[in-house]
Structure 1
Amino acid sequence: MSQTGYPASWEADVVLRDGGAAHLRPIRPEDADAVQAFHEAQSEESVYLRFFAPLRKIPQRELEHFTNVDYRDRVAFVVTVGGRIIGIGRYDRTGEDTAEVAFNVSDAHQGRGLGSVLLEHLAAAARERGMREFSAEVLPQNSAMLGVFVQAGYEVARRFDDGVVDVRFDLDPTEKSRAVMAAREHRAESLSVRGLLHPRSVVVIGASRNPKSTGNLILKNLVDADFDGDLWVVHPEADTVLGVPAYRSTADLPGPADIAVIAVPADSVIDVVRQCAEASVKGVVVVSSGFAETGSEGLARQRELVRTARANGMRVVGPNSFGLLNADPDVRLNASLAPFLPPTGDFGLFSQSGALGIAVLASAARRGLGVSSFVSAGNRADLSGNDMMQYWEEDPGTRAVGLYLESIGNPRKFSRIARRLASTKPVVVVKSDITGSELPPGHSVRTSRSPREALDQMLHQAGVIRAGTIHRLFDVAGVLTAQPLPAGNRVGVVGNSAALATLVVQAGSARGLDMSADAVSLHPEASADEFSGALAEVFGRGDIDSVVVTFTPSIGASETEVAAALARTAATSGKTTVACFLGVHGVTEALSATIETDGTERTLAVPGYPSPEDAVWALAAVTNYSDWRRADHGSLVVPSGIDSRRAARLVAEWLDTADGDVVLDSARVAELLGCYGIDILGSSVVDTVDDAVRAADHLGWPVALKAVESRLRHRLDLGGVVLNVDDATELRSDFAHLQRAIADIAGDTGHTASVEVQAMAPTGVACVVRTGEDPLFGPLVSFGLAGDATELLGDVAYRVAPLTDVDVAELVRNVKASPRLFGRHGLPPVDIGALEDLIARVSVLADDLPAVKSLDINPVVVSTSGVHLLGADVTVSPGSDRNDAPRRRLA
């Protein structure tokens, strides 16, 4: 049996069902004693269910067999917390592509989802080793293990034989199994964040009696917020600090702390985290700086911090964090450097930048926006915006969320989570550069090969509202938290300034709003009654979904009177409303009204803006989001005739003997694409003109001649392509012209260059379809029309796979040159259905095969009756490690 090296890439930190963290890794020979100790600690029932016999001690020979595996035909994983094994899972190959699987979970840790985590990682490893089916023999009374298989979402076949249940299931992920994994991931990560934001006890470590120290400031903020829980301090000498009981160490605390806020020098943090682990602390907030933001030594310290915390079941906020807070009146947690606890509201905030933490909260307070919870991730070594979105989706106190992001470690996962969250709660993102090319100190992410437009379109695909600045973030938050979503894009305008009304109409039209309803412009000295009448008229119209109200102070109605009338009218109308009142900015009492609905009183506010442009920008952003939320986003594409298992086997064979990337030849390209029902137009590469004639005879006239030389490939404008060659005489002449063009480019006239002869495709529109495993985004699919003009101007559309049918349709229609596909200047439209089918197949290939580093189909000629692929280049890579892999793991 061949031995495979220890697969370090299979190691993973995971979040369990209850929100706690654990470490999963392949088993090693030196685990023998720990495996024996794990076994001996199990109950008699657990041992019997696993081994079908009362085996109190594993015999030495069996123990060596269990812990010495080849990581190919025999694979085993252990899950550890604090270095102790709490779960073991393994498979043993039983046939060419089948294996038997088994689990054993510690009695003390059952119910935490260890079985499902082990199954996910074993299945992924087995697929990587070419297996397609798992089997297991389970005693009928072992309902927990049977439940692991059934609840995983696989199609399970069961057969009862000789007192044992024989279970079998295919390992290929299904839509149901993917959904199950995502749901489990969501629940676990949501609970891990909830544990941090709803602690029953907090300990501050590093709170000296110096009022200017960071720890003292955080403790003061916790005290001033009147935290509703136990609050303790670890101090080497004091009995109290700021009136809070102090203890000499975490071991002396009167009970386990849910979170520890750590504000000690960086070189002491890891020792403090170890002490927290011994004291059963559940999570740590590290405000200390001196980690990855300081260079390589700090980065190593940061990685050790995360490893230590996760290995002991803890999540980490930070390091270099501003802290976190929860404004819920039943919690009142301010474990941050913010000198105040914001008013309770329903806007959740996440910031990676510690320096911007105070600015973000202060801006929210100035706008009158209440906050549900706030987290500053600092260097984002562990807890991320993805985790926060998982939590906010379940948090009933959060209506909308805002994220200030300096980097995204896993955009594919971000897109998946944000898309699900945005379907029920708006997600607003302020980004700096998060493609990996310009990272802030302390942030480490993969660098994307794709342009920034790819990120913009990925966020659009996920339904995220983009805000360029924090100012814009709170502009749109005012509408999202205080107003209903617009039912459509029809906007009415009312005010006492014709000039301001014109600005509103122009700004709205520029942002795609329907401003066709006549603006109601009162004279500047209009009375309060006149204004109220105009408001009633506009809000009462059935052809208006939103209203922009402007008011300029005059000798007529007072601002107070108009504001009160507007607040009342807007609150009862159900229409989305924004206002431009001089000196009114944000959500204010002046523009608020209390109404009764179904016996319940609620207060609605009209957000105010200093300029018409700000008001219209916010309204347009919310309207676009509302349109996205109402839209049908389709279902995942599932083209027929796909053999993804054969494709994976082929790629594995091609990479098996390679040291690095493999550029596939034309035969292998055709074989790989054929697994996905994609055919390349027949061609032949030749070196002589006689061979070219014979190839044309075989392919059928007319043919095209194409230079193989990379600088002339696809370049009709430079003489690298000759079309519609009808016979041998014409071919010989064109072959000579092509050789001269190649020689001019290459600067070498001493030999004949290779030429590709290809059957002519019907007339159509030339397009380019590309995909590949982007290091940051994962499987990215792009589409554009062929030619320098398109590519130089960036007229390319991007989507992250897997794609829905709606994603595919948008990909085709989102390029500015797309009218050429749908009939222009009297030309017939091309076969859009065939083009979309091709893109769907490419997207499935990209999602299935992370090893496909790049696939470039260029050109794709789309005619009135099909698509014709004239060429494709494929490179596969052995080094792919997709961030959002089909098994749960923390970054």
Structure 2
Amino acid sequence: MNETPAYPVAWEADVVLRDGTTTHVRPIVPDDADALQRFQMHQSERSSYYRFFAPVRSLTDRELEKFTNVDHTDRAALVAVRPGPDEPSVEDIIGVARYDVVEPGLAEVAFNVADSVQGMGLGSVLLEHLAAAARERGVRRFTADVLPQNGTMLAVFRDAGYGVRQQIDDGVVTVSVDLDPTERSREVMADREHRAEARSMQALLSARRVLLVGPGLPQDDGGDAPGAQSAALLAQRVIDAAVADPGDTELFVLDAPCAVLPDAPALHAVATWDDVPPVDLVLLSLPAVHAVAAVRRLAGTGARGVVVLSAGFAETGPGGLERQRELLRAAHGLGMRVVGPASYGIVTTVPGARLRASLADRAPAPGVVGLFCQSSPAAVTLAATLERRGLGVSALVSAGHRADVSGNDLMQYWLTDPATQVACLYLESIGNPRKFTRVARRLAAEKPVVVVVAGRSGQVVPPGHAVRATSAPRAMLDAMLRQAGVIRAENTHQLIDIAQVLAHQPLPRGGRVGILASSAALAALVAEAAAANGLVVAASSDFLAPERSADDVRRSVEALYADDACDVVVVVDVPVVMPRGDVVARTVAQAAARTGRTTVVSVVGLHGLPDELAATAPDGSTVRVPAYSTPEDAVAALGKVVGYARWREQDHGAPVRPSGVDRTRARRIVEQVLASGGTPDDGALLDDATAAELLGCYGLHPWRAASVRTADEAVAAAQELGWPVALKTADQVLRHRTDLGGVRLDLGDADELRDAVERMTAVAVATGIEPVLEVQSMAPAGVAVVVRSVEDPLFGPVVSFGLAGDAVDLLGDVASAVAPLTDVDVRDLVRAVRAAPRLFGYQGAPLADVDAVEDVVARVAVMADDLPELASLELYPVVVAERGASTLHAAVRVRRATERRDPLRRVLPA
């Protein structure tokens, strides 16, 4: 394929269709002429009539030249392609979308989808991608002429969620589509993305016929290629595991590393590629240099996914990274998802549908926990912990370097999977935090999500993981997880601790904890741990004397589980002299099952989910109380679960929609600034007038400040603006420092102002800065705060809030969140800083207008979300008075945007 100089590489993308298969979308090029002609000739008469209003059988040479030669600006076209069935190296077009600009900001659009893939959502995908490309080129509206009987195309426009108008004239429907994203269009894309990605995961996890491709590929250097020995060991491990525990899986082995396969009913040898039967899933255990060729030979097998067990890809350097990209291109082109490389595989435990496509020699016990991890070592550790604790799972998926399938995909699937009631993820890196937040928040509203991230900051990037660098503070990861509503575990040990409670106990109704301990000292220890984890000790707490009888135990337990005695229960039994008996454990288990009260225990000799702590509930189900090695572990897990239960009960709000927003004008201002040239890599700082104009598009209006150099100019400015005034140096550091002479406030007459100008000019000269000053009217007294946004390469638009002042800055008392935000997010952000009480009448001070400052934060969040070009924005200070909030200074920096990790179109990892 020959790329034209203006070829927009960023428009290329792999996408998932409605049935869970994949395809590649890219801009059209002149070399597509033959493929476009084949596409047109295979279209039905009906489809051709809908597209051209005539039964066009083939395109003329002139039409082919026109359709394939575009400038990607005023004329653009996208094609969806897949490898041809007869010759995989030749691409077939299965869909075309194009626009032609007819006047500034307006383009005529047309779509044509192959008959063979109609009904799979390709039209809506092409509309999303073409709209994103058009917006990038300054097109704000599409128009199209559609025949009334073409209900499918009309539905694509109508159901996309954009602003749509239509009218009928001379038997043709003219449709007009506003391309500015709306809340509805975002919801539509998210819903379609969820269904498609969930369907693609369902195809992998429900596979029954699995093909293992071993290292003995029929190539001359197959046995000597780097990694061949390792690949052979991996393949042998899969075979041994399939013999030991086949589940409900049939394993077909191509080019097995052993001369003769073991005799097993679910194991079948395949001699050559021509003998490969239809399969659902492929396990690839090959040297990396042969992986791409093997994937290309899977055309026609029906496989929906490839699990790459071997390594040797992106972690080895640029050559390996390109090999990994080729692997993705080949698999996605054939409609398949990729798990790996360096994956431990996939195991599911649903009765009657147990999938064994893994290196694990034993599958975990069946259960309701969905477990996702990345590296194979992590999978081994987690599998061993599950077995030791007796905790069952619905599925265990290892994504390795997660070149394609990630935790986001599994969360999309688990949202509607009835077998999975708890989602647990061990993440070594997060490649798309913005999408993670969006998907995890949706899942957490229905089912608990527990996450452990390697490293406290989440900024450790293992070899082979494609993660953009970030300049966000280390606390950003915690803020993002809180915003998503997920439970953050400190380590894998605590991940399983929390999962035990969620999988086998009901969600708590509150945070009042009842304690039953075998000594007063233990009761005090648990009470201290409870307070540290946000729990309140209830009056029902008690301790059991060493000489307790069975009746004593029963009476204490009944009091603890009495109606409204507490919300959760912690039992700690550590006998000192007498050997441990089962009376306490069984009595507590029966009470917990009978009442449905969330319970955890720490009893010597019991760990995990032992039978001694199992009992039958009134509905006949078996309830297990989780046991922990230490009381601190039990209380810590319980505290996390109580926190999640509180989050579930809260109103999470609606996306903020401030009034008076003019996105079209804001986009035009930014494009004009960038078109003027001279924008450095770190962005161009807008002058005050342009910054005020841009901020005004979002209802943000910084107070006017007059720039002066002399006392006479300052007095004239003060008379125009109105007394009293403030005088500030224009220096970005000193302008906020009253203590260093950079600011003088409440100057009421000309003499005071002249004196201040003289003093401030002297300070400027002494410190070596230009003596440029600013005069500004005094704002009403109040609390000074700072609102910022930064476009982070990894997290996207990060909005932060804090109170102004050295102490706050030095202590890092700043709260951050990733846009878009809901009204509840905004409220929580303002209240998250430790100095927030100053806004609420601290020590008798007047109450500040919190609603006004929340409105400022909301507008900044919307602006940051709308404009990826907004490199940074700082409103400092914003003075929040008893009524209103005054923005006294704004600094705005813009730069050419790179595509966000979670763009306004559905895409798979590139």
TM-score range, shorter chain: over 0.9
Change (3 A) 1:674 1:237: closer
Give the whole-Å Cα distance in 1 for the aligned partners of 2:497 and 2:745: 56
Q: How does 1:288-327 map to 2 (within 5 A)?
A: 288-327=310-349
1:254 aligns with 2:305: no
Answer with 693-702 or 176-185: which moved more.
693-702
Residue type at the aligned position of 2:902: D
Q: Conserved in 2, the CA contact under 8 Å of 1:347 and 1:402? A: yes
Answer with 184-193 or 552-561: which moved more.
552-561
Residues 141-168 of structure 1: per-residue CA shift (max 9 Å, x gap)? 2121112112212343332322222222
Q: How does 1:88-487 map to 2 (within 5 A)?
A: 88-206=96-214, 213-235=233-255, 241-243=261-263, 244-255=267-278, 257-277=279-299, 279-433=301-455, 437-487=459-509
Q: Conserved in 2, the CA contact under 8 Å of 1:263 and 1:288? A: yes
Q: How does 1:745-760 map to 2 (within 5 A)?
A: 745-746=767-768, 753-760=771-778
Give the whole-Å Cα distance in 1 for the aligned partners of 2:331 and 2:767: 59
Residues 305-330 of structure 1: per-residue CA shift (max 9 Å, x gap)? 22222222221111111111111222
Give the whole-Å Cα distance in 2 for the aligned partners of 1:495 and 1:436: 38
Give the whole-Å Cα distance in 2 for the aligned partners of 1:554 and 1:790: 50
TM-score, normalised to structure 1's length?
0.96
Give the whole-Å Cα distance in 1 for the aligned partners of 2:796 and 2:106: 29
Q: Match of 2:88?
A: none
Q: How does 1:799-814 map to 2 (within 5 A)?
A: 799-814=817-832
Q: Conserved in 2, the CA contact under 8 Å of 1:264 and 1:288? A: yes
Q: CA deviation at 1:251?
A: 3.2
Q: Match of 1:43?
A: 44
Change (3 A) 1:332 1:267: same
1:633 aligns with 2:641: no
Residue type at the aligned position of 1:536: E
Q: CA RMSD in A?
A: 1.9
Equivalenced residue count is 881
Residue type at the aligned position of 2:158: V
| 1:819 aligned to which of 837, 846, 854 | 837
Q: Match of 2:226?
A: none
Give the whole-Å Cα distance in 2 for the aligned partners of 1:153 and 1:456: 33
Q: Match of 2:816?
A: 798
Q: Conserved in 2, the CA contact under 8 Å of 1:266 and 1:288? A: yes
Residue type at the aligned position of 1:393: L
Q: Conserved in 2, the CA contact under 8 Å of 1:407 and 1:435? A: no
Residues 436-467 of structure 1: per-residue CA shift (max 9 Å, x gap)? 74311111211121112111011001111011
Residue type at the aligned position of 1:888: R
Give the whole-Å Cα distance in 2 for the aligned partners of 1:615 and 1:602: 24
Give the whole-Å Cα distance in 1 for the aligned partners of 2:260 and 2:36: 45
Give the whole-Å Cα distance in 2 for the aligned partners of 1:436 and 1:629: 25
| 1:768 aligned to which of 786, 799, 807 | 786
Q: CA deviation at 1:218?
A: 1.1
Q: Match of 1:80?
A: 81
Q: Conserved in 1, the CA contact under 8 Å of 2:873 and 2:890? A: yes
Partner SS for 1:716: coil
Residues 523-547 of structure 1: per-residue CA shift (max 9 Å, x gap)? 1121122111211111113141111
Q: CA deviation at 1:205?
A: 0.8
1:643 aligns with 2:662: yes
Q: CA deviation at 1:804?
A: 1.0
Q: CA deviation at 1:371?
A: 0.9
Give the whole-Å Cα distance in 2 for the aligned partners of 1:557 and 1:436: 45
Residues 776-824 of structure 1: per-residue CA shift (max 9 Å, x gap)? 1111111000112112211111111111111111111110000001001
Give the whole-Å Cα distance in 2 for the aligned partners of 1:436 and 1:477: 21
Change (3 A) 1:309 1:402: same
Q: Match of 1:874?
A: 892
Give the whole-Å Cα distance in 2 for the aligned partners of 1:177 and 1:240: 56
1:702 aligns with 2:721: no
| 1:609 aligned to which of 608, 624, 628 | 628
Q: Conserved in 2, the CA contact under 8 Å of 1:4 and 1:71? A: no
Residue type at the aligned position of 2:734: L
Q: Match of 1:863?
A: 881
Change (3 A) 1:236 1:631: closer
Residue type at the aligned position of 2:9: A
Unaligned runs of 5+ in 1: none
Give the whole-Å Cα distance in 2 for the aligned partners of 1:808 and 1:70: 43
Q: Conserved in 1, the CA contact under 8 Å of 2:654 and 2:824? A: yes
Q: Match of 1:24?
A: 25
Residues 25-60 of structure 1: per-residue CA shift (max 9 Å, x gap)? 111122111111110111111111111111111111
Q: Conserved in 2, the CA contact under 8 Å of 1:251 and 1:279? A: no
Q: How does 1:652-731 map to 2 (within 5 A)?
A: 652-660=671-679, 661-731=683-753
Q: Conserved in 2, the CA contact under 8 Å of 1:435 and 1:776? A: no
Residue type at the aligned position of 1:251: D
Residue type at the aligned position of 2:29: R
Answer with 438-447 or 552-561: which moved more.
552-561
Answer with 670-679 or 878-887: which moved more.
878-887
Answer with 398-407 or 441-450: which moved more.
441-450
Q: Match of 1:830?
A: 848
Give the whole-Å Cα distance in 2 for the aligned partners of 1:558 and 1:799: 49
Answer with 708-717 or 799-808: which moved more.
708-717
Seq. identity, %: 52
Give the whole-Å Cα distance in 1 for the aligned partners of 2:166 and 2:755: 69
Residue type at the aligned position of 1:51: F
Partner SS for 2:372: strand
Unaligned runs of 5+ in 2: 84-90, 217-222, 224-228
Q: CA deviation at 1:232?
A: 0.4
Give the whole-Å Cα distance in 2 for the aligned partners of 1:847 and 1:709: 29
Q: Conserved in 1, the CA contact under 8 Å of 2:735 and 2:742? A: yes
Residue type at the aligned position of 2:188: V
Q: Conserved in 2, the CA contact under 8 Å of 1:201 and 1:230? A: yes
Q: Match of 2:12?
A: 11
Residues 109-152 of structure 1: per-residue CA shift (max 9 Å, x gap)? 11211000001111222222223322222222212111211221
Change (3 A) 1:238 1:825: closer
Q: Match of 2:56?
A: 55
Give the whole-Å Cα distance in 2 for the aligned partners of 1:436 and 1:593: 40
TM-score, normalised to structure 2's length?
0.94
Q: How does 1:488-527 map to 2 (within 5 A)?
A: 488-527=510-549
Residue type at the aligned position of 2:234: T
Q: Match of 2:35?
A: 34
Partner SS for 2:110: strand
Q: Conserved in 1, the CA contact under 8 Å of 2:163 and 2:179? A: no
Q: How does 1:734-745 map to 2 (within 5 A)?
A: 734-745=756-767
Q: CA deviation at 1:292?
A: 1.8
Q: Conserved in 1, the CA contact under 8 Å of 2:827 and 2:854? A: yes
Partner SS for 1:451: coil
Q: Conserved in 1, the CA contact under 8 Å of 2:425 and 2:450? A: yes
Give the whole-Å Cα distance in 2 for the aligned partners of 1:591 and 1:790: 49
Q: Match of 2:561?
A: 539
